[in-house]
Amino acid sequence: MGARIASARVGVMILVDSDILIDAGHEVQAAVQFLDLHAAELAVSAISHMELLVGCRNKAEQNKLERFLSRFQSVPCSKDISERAVSLMREYRLSHGLLIPDALIAASCLQLNFALATKNRRDFAFIAGLQLANF
């Protein structure tokens, strides 16, 4: 059994994947509305934070990104998350092509019992126990 689709419930933390954050930065209405609707229960992984930093072309963009991300709870990569990501890589790398950043993001959700909001559902749908938030 793979990921479960769940509507975001009040009080359930949601880890937001970088694809939605990028859309919000480009003012894509669906992403902006999702972030506004769930503002009190959103978190961003250190992995997504780093992925977004890679896209910054100058210090002004980097500062703008940091201001934007400051509204979210930050989720660092702990030892437990790293170990769970390694386990996910063992289980899903060969069969489903799981990538390292996606393994760390999924492991964060599984370890912390967060739902994941992503547009790239196919990258995560096969992971047992992972809860995907409706987006």
Domain CATH number, residue 48? 3.40.50.1010
Cα separation, 117 vs 37, in Å, equals 13
pLDDT of 5 reads: 54
Residue 122: give the domain boundaries. Answer: 4-133
pLDDT of 2 reads: 75
Overall domain count for the chain: 1
What are the average pLDDT values for consecutive 10-residue runs of the chain, which has 135 residues? 57 94 96 95 97 97 97 97 98 98 98 97 97 93
- pTM assigned to the model: 0.91
Q: Which of 98, 33, 93, 25 is nearest to 57 (CA)?
A: 25
pLDDT of 74 reads: 97
